Chain A
Amino acid sequence: MASVTLYTTGTFNGLKAVYALNELKAHYGFEFAIKNVDIFSKKEQQEEWFQKINPNGKIPALVDHKHGDFAIFESAAILLWLAEHYDPENILFPSAAESKERSEVTQWLFWQMSGLGPIQGQANLFINFAPEKIPFAINRYTDEVLRLYGVLEKHLSDGRQFVAAGRYTIADLNLFGHIGAHNLQVGITLEKFPLVDAWLHRIAQKQAVLDAFEQFGNKLIQNDFRKPAPVPAPSA
């Protein structure tokens, strides 16, 4: 019997909670359900039933059946909720007693949510999806993406293997997908960011992460984080 239902899809925000749920399942036998929301063609996230769960009309969103169908929106808020309620052994989030470590995780959660996520999203838009190429915007967001990756590189250079608290936490899960998409979305490589590259591959070894990508048919890890080759147009 599923304790929670996650409404999501295989985008980089959508996958975050899937990694966490997979970890909780592996460690605790935690049961959950995933409902795929078609955000591209059917635009289900704009439907009334979904807006009741997430007033912002975006995925992911989670409904917790063990808490009176309490709804949570915002990917990092979902990670914090799962960590608070379903991780008694603190495999993904430091304990309440480790308040410094918890704050570190929280700080880096917000760094991704307010910076890396939105900015890389804008880069992706202007490079890959905008109806016209606007060099000013492309440069603005690419430069800021590179600056942010530089911040992460420097942070990891202080002997860190993980983003916060000296261990694998939701801070890593929260960042993984977007960093993985550096080439796909922004067309950059990680040559100048070797520690970020090492961290990326370190997290990509987690079974919970691999399973999530497979569940959604996302081949990014398989492709070693490179943009897939353009699919040739079908003949006839």
Chain B
Amino acid sequence: MITLYVVGTPNGQKPTIALNELKAHYGLEFEIYPISFAKNEQKEEWFLKINPNGRIPAIIDHNRNDFAVFESAAILLYLTEHYDPDHIIFPTDSNERSEVIQWLMWQMGGLGPMQGQAGHFNGLKDQIPYAINRYNEETRRLYSVLERHLSEGREWLAAGRYTIADINSFGWAAAHELSTAGKVTMDEFPNVKAWLVRVAERKAVRETFEFFGNKLIENDFHRPAPVAPAAPAEAKWIKTTTTKTVTTTDKDGKKSVVESVSTTYKAV
């Protein structure tokens, strides 16, 4: 069993899609523990033991001595290393693997952080034009890189086929209008748009978006789309609710007992 600690953000979607692919092909078992941002759960001590950076996603692999993995692309590489013997989403050839890794890094170092800043500044009540412009334009530049890359006869980002490189960039690219308040659209990037549609044909991708109540695919990647955490679709998931008591001691030695309720979702 693998436990995925996640929220339905573009980074959270990544391992969810990969796990759905591996479930479909191999019957790999995993469960989802939805982290509550409202409660700042990702900064709680128990979670920091799993991910010292205090962010989602993170996994614990109970099949391998509760080994913890943080950083979304590291999780993708971990899952393919241990759970993809048929190489359905990661190649065997070393040049092709490097291509995949290069595009993983490109997204992790570029598209994610820069589009993320765009999303932040576009969403502020007191708008800061310099920042908005900077991040919208860098986001646009990054899509132009992707556009050119895909215009050279490529259907997929790396290795000539669907891999974790596509999974890794899909959620962010799907949210391009949301992050840039509509300033960046796929009108400028037809090859990226075609790639988005192509990746969205994967059942694992659609199941993931459905689970998180994300309507971007249905909306043809246009705003508005409810990205607020909706109650996950229950039909295909077994929901388990557990109550645990946690005793904490503050710096004065005073103990307090807190009851916390957690819910996990296991794929059927």
Q: List chain A positions with a Cβ less than 8 A from chain B.
A: 55-57, 67, 70, 72-77, 80-81, 84-85, 99-100, 103, 106-107, 109-111, 113-115, 117-119, 122, 130-132, 134, 136-137, 140, 148, 151, 154-155
- 4 new A-B contacts, CB < 8 A, other than A70-B98, A103-B78, A106-B71, are A103-B74, A110-B108, A118-B113, A137-B128
- What is the CA–CA distance of A70 and B142 in the complex, to the nearest angstrom? 22
Which candidate, B2-10, B99-107, B219-227, B245-253, is the interface stretch facing chain A? B99-107
Contacting residue for B110 out of A56, A70, A130, A155, CB 8 A: A56
Classify the interface of chain B: helix, strand, loop or mixed.
Answer: helix
Q: Inside 8 A of B117's CB, which chain A residues have their CB?
A: 122
- What is the CA–CA distance of A27 and B43 in the complex, to the nearest angstrom? 42
- What is the CA–CA distance of A130 and B112 in the complex, to the nearest angstrom? 22
A-B pairs, 8 with minimum CB distance: A74-B105, A110-B71, A118-B113, A114-B108, A107-B74, A113-B109, A77-B102, A77-B105
Q: Which of B93-136 contact A (CB under 8 A)?
A: 94-95, 98, 101-102, 104-106, 108-110, 112-114, 117, 120, 126, 128, 130-131
- What is the CA–CA distance of A135 and B47 in the complex, to the nearest angstrom? 32
- What is the CA–CA distance of A137 and B54 in the complex, to the nearest angstrom? 22
Check A119 against B52 for contact (C-beta < 8 Å).
no
* Tally of B interface residues using CB under 8 Å: 38
Task: For residue A229, give the distance in angstroms from its CB to the closest CB of chain B.
Answer: 29
Q: Inside 8 A of A73's CB, which chain B residues have their CB?
A: 102, 106
- What is the CA–CA distance of A24 and B78 in the complex, to the nearest angstrom? 27
Residue from the set A70, A118, A130 with the largest chain B CB neighbour count within 10 Å: A118
- What is the CA–CA distance of A122 and B109 in the complex, to the nearest angstrom? 12
CB<8 Å pairs between A and B, sample of 13: A55-B148, A73-B102, A73-B106, A74-B106, A77-B98, A77-B101, A107-B74, A110-B72, A111-B53, A113-B109, A114-B108, A118-B109, A151-B54
Q: List chain B positions with a Cβ less than 8 A from chain A.
A: 52-54, 67, 69-74, 77-78, 81-82, 94-95, 98, 101-102, 104-106, 108-110, 112-114, 117, 120, 126, 128, 130-131, 142, 145, 148-149
> Which residue of B is nearest A119, CB measured?
B113
Check B130 against A132 for contact (C-beta < 8 Å).
yes
Check A100 against B128 for contact (C-beta < 8 Å).
no
Check A107 against B70 for contact (C-beta < 8 Å).
yes
Check B113 against A134 for contact (C-beta < 8 Å).
no
Check A114 against B77 for contact (C-beta < 8 Å).
no
Check B94 against A84 for contact (C-beta < 8 Å).
yes
Contacting residue for A111 out of B71, B78, B128, CB 8 A: B71
- What is the CA–CA distance of A81 and B109 in the complex, to the nearest angstrom? 17
- What is the CA–CA distance of A99 and B83 in the complex, to the nearest angstrom? 13
Residue from the set A55, A75, A85, A154 with the largest chain B CB neighbour count within 10 Å: A55
- What is the CA–CA distance of A119 and B70 in the complex, to the nearest angstrom? 18
- What is the CA–CA distance of A77 and B102 in the complex, to the nearest angstrom? 5
Check B128 against A136 for contact (C-beta < 8 Å).
yes
A107 and B71 in contact, given A55-B145, A118-B109 (Cβ under 8 angstroms): yes
- What is the CA–CA distance of A155 and B53 in the complex, to the nearest angstrom? 9
Contacting residue for B131 out of A118, A137, A151, CB 8 A: A137
Q: Inside 8 A of A132's CB, which chain B residues have their CB?
A: 130
A130 and B69 in contact, given A107-B74, A113-B105, A114-B113 (Cβ under 8 angstroms): no
Q: Inside 8 A of B70's CB, which chain A residues have their CB?
A: 107, 111
> Which residue of A is nearest B149, CB measured?
A55
Q: Inside 8 A of A75's CB, which chain B residues have their CB?
A: 105
Task: For residue B100, give the distance in angstroms from its CB to the closest CB of chain A.
Answer: 10
Check B102 against A115 for contact (C-beta < 8 Å).
no
